[in-house]
Structure 1
Amino acid sequence: MFSISTRWNPTVAGIALRTYRTTVLGIEASCDDSAVALVNGDGEVLARRAYANREIQARLGGIVPSIAAEQHRNHLMPMIDECLRESGCQLQDLSGVAVSNRPGLVVALKAGVQVALNIARRARTNLIPIHHMRAHALSALLVNKEIRFPFIAVLLSGGHCLFTVCDSPDNFRLLGQSFSGSPGECLDKVGREIGVHTLPEYQHLHIGAAVERLAKIASSNGHFRYTVNGPSTSWAADTDFSSIKASFLMLISKEGSSICIEDFCASVQFSITRHIASRLHAALNFLRESGDLEKCQHVVIGGGVAANAYIAQALSKVVSHYGLRCFQIPKSLCTDNGEMIAWNGILSLNHRSSAVIPWDKIPDQLYCLSREDIGDDIRERVQKPKAKISAGSLHPNLPLRITKYS
């Protein structure tokens, strides 16, 4: 049995009405962002907190898992206490505690899971393990009530590039993924190698965000100035960002100090965008030919890299070509956050998910996984389209052109 919390509503005609409302605490600690949120069944965010220390990352040259875990241990509980005070909730009001336990940095995930285990036991409420990438996709339903299952999700982050069909909170079909590298890691490593983190005005930003800002002030054709060949993959909707990264690192080694950093950032961003867009084209073409596309109305674009406006606008062109509506998850929900974890917990409760663990069956420990597929793997069924996207037409203010292979 799932436990459901109760709250008192204001009186109506002098009579106090007691109603049942689901309220879930979400805990996110899959990487370097410590985040918590309280969300109710209406999709109202009652309170939220987040903490990250970009200065330490810049000083150490990247994310150090043990330091990220220590950050979670130091900050999660104080932030949860603040959220409870701000919302007026008490532990007994919670219908569940949702926590990311896969995929991510295992040592960081364990820190978040331990907090969730302790709170769920104290509150005598459900524990809800959450797949981090599913939560990114499902966060769209928190802010857009028009989206219905099934919908298509494009998830872009520092560890993933996924194209998936979301049939329900527990059922996803994987159309494509990166078999080597990720868009976020590619942006980070190339941006770091070219030295964007040494520029004072960008030191407070993630490397990827700094690359995007520098690309905005590139010359008009800066995105074509440093070109690399697009990688090939075994399955049509799979991606390979390690090859793109290696090609640009080789260019840096070759060109050295003569590189125009703004144009170089624009070229890196464009190459990544072109690669993702071509794979999205393959995934949507497969769904159209299989008859599944007509069942979907929306394509959701989410994950940390989806906060990049240039990438998002290019992908929206591809989505529009297939007659679907594109919804970009707001930037505040694109980066790791507690709201998406709590909302996934709400959906799991509403759909009576078997993943929900009643409080009297909460284990001593919960497994944390560095990797786990988002759903059923059908990548081998996706075939290369008979027509290709004209890469230059992905640039803003240009109509998308798709032409047959010669």
Structure 2
Amino acid sequence: MLVLGIESSCDETGVALYDTELGLLGHQLYSQVKMHAKYGGVVPELASRDHVRRLVPLIQDVLLQAGRQREDINGVAYTAGPGLLGALMVGAMAARSMAYAWGVPALAVHHMEGHLLAPMLEANPPAFPFVALLVSGGHTQLIKVEGIGQYELLGESVDDAAGEAFDKTAKLLDLGYPGGPVLAKLAEQGVGGRFTFPSPMVDRPGMDFSFSGLKTAVRQAVNAMPEPLTEQDKADIALAFQTAVVRTLVIKCKRALDATGYKTLVIAGGVSANLALRSALEDATRARGARVYYPALSFCTDNGAMIAYAGAQRLVQGEHTKLPVTLRARWPLTELPSPPVVADRSQ
């Protein structure tokens, strides 16, 4: 089956074609980062309007890239939440219109399920069951995954998510928008030991996260220093901050593996591109006889490939989304249903 996937939950327009036999055939992504940078964050109305401008040309580019025609498509998947409602509406309306015109099923995909399944696009994907660390935008969650739609929440952030903490700390250091990747790059130039920040909620049981206190500790350190901060000051603070976040995430992942008894860890979402986090998790899992999987760097941030893949997995199980269109700005991943079991018709 060939599925067209559309991602438009925030500030990136992603389109992809996924074939259940041949794999990913084509994908395109347009980022609105430059447009929003001068405002210091995403402006929802501007994001929605830009999705309208970019979506159709990207679909045409992907079809051309894959050498396919619209008549070849068996389903259209789109992000239905969580995300900005206006932005979600653009992708949903386009997807539903195309699906209706082409006479194929439409599939509403959960954005975080797309991230969770993104490592499945790799040549050597993980096998179920596993523990997933989802670190994307406003989400930091540990999920017990037994299969498609079989998700149990083990822990989540009670305030700022890891990605939010990266961006807000970058703003304190005047690193621009989006600041998270810039902060991670700057941390490579940092000198360890000059600053030490706490790793929140690691001294108590459980797998929940909290990063607001860490952000406050960084602000206090910045306020105590003479102005203006030098580039080395910023690099040293960035390194200490990143070290605290990574240590927290690693400790909670180890607890999740212990609690489930699983030997496979999946990390996905924008923060999964952080090389320090990848290295620390590889060391931690190797020491426990476990293994960590993550998506290619190009599929860590929002993209159409993960939506096409997630939609394809539900389509092959006979699932499709009926009218009316329902979009959700907030949508717990654990509320997703398991796909229906389809009998093997080949026998």
TM-score higher than 0.5: yes
Asked if the contact 2:5/2:78 (under 8 Å) is kept, the reply is: yes
Is 1:48 aligned to 2:27, yes or no? Answer: yes
- For residue 280 of structure 2, what is the aligned residue in structure 1? 314
The one-character-per-residue Cα deviations of 1:179-218 (angstroms, maximum 9, x if unpaired) are 1111111111110121122xxxxx7xx3111111111111
Matches for 1:49-68 after TM superposition, within 5 Å: 49-68=28-47
SS in 1 for 2:15: strand
SS in 1 for 2:3: strand
Is 1:269 aligned to 2:234, yes or no? Answer: no
Structure 2 CA distance, aligned partners of 1:165 and 1:322? 18
Larger Rg: 1
In the alignment of these two chains, the number of paired residues is 332
- For residue 227 of structure 2, what is the aligned residue in structure 1? 257
SS in 1 for 2:38: helix
Paired AA for residue 372 in structure 1: W
**Percent of aligned pairs sharing the same letter:** 30
Is 1:215 aligned to 2:169, yes or no? Answer: no
Asked if the contact 1:43/1:343 (under 8 Å) is kept, the reply is: no
User: Are the structure 2 counterparts of residues 116 and 274 from structure 1 closer, same or farther at C-alpha, using a change threshold of 3 Å?
Assistant: same
Question: Alignment partner for residue 256 of structure 2, among 280, 283, 291?
Answer: 283
The one-character-per-residue Cα deviations of 1:238-289 (angstroms, maximum 9, x if unpaired) are 101222222212322222526401111111111111111121122112113x
Paired AA for residue 306 in structure 1: S
Task: Please state how far the C-alpha of 1:120 moved relative to its aligned partner.
Answer: 0.9
SS in 1 for 2:158: strand
SS in 1 for 2:200: coil
Structure 2 CA distance, aligned partners of 1:176 and 1:25? 32
Query: Which segment is superposed worse, 79-88 or 301-310?
Result: 79-88
Task: Please state how far the C-alpha of 1:65 moved relative to its aligned partner.
Answer: 1.3
Structure 2 CA distance, aligned partners of 1:160 and 1:312? 18
Matches for 1:1-400 after TM superposition, within 5 Å: 22-197=1-176, 206-219=178-191, 221=192, 224-232=193-201, 236-257=206-227, 259=229, 260-288=233-261, 293=262, 297-353=263-319, 356-357=320-321, 362-363=322-323, 365-375=324-334
SS in 2 for 1:375: helix
Paired AA for residue 255 in structure 1: M
Structure 1 CA distance, aligned partners of 2:62 and 2:212? 40
Query: Which segment is superposed worse, 241-250 or 27-36?
Result: 241-250
Can you give the 5+ residue segments of structure 2 that lack an aligned partner in the other structure? 337-347
Runs of 4+ in structure 1 off by over 3 angstroms are none
Asked if the contact 2:119/2:125 (under 8 Å) is kept, the reply is: no
Query: Which segment is superposed worse, 175-184 or 78-87?
Result: 78-87
Asked if the contact 2:16/2:27 (under 8 Å) is kept, the reply is: yes
TM-score with structure 1 setting the length:
0.77
Greater length-normalized contact order (CA 8 Å, ≥ 6 residues apart): 2
TM-score with structure 2 setting the length:
0.90
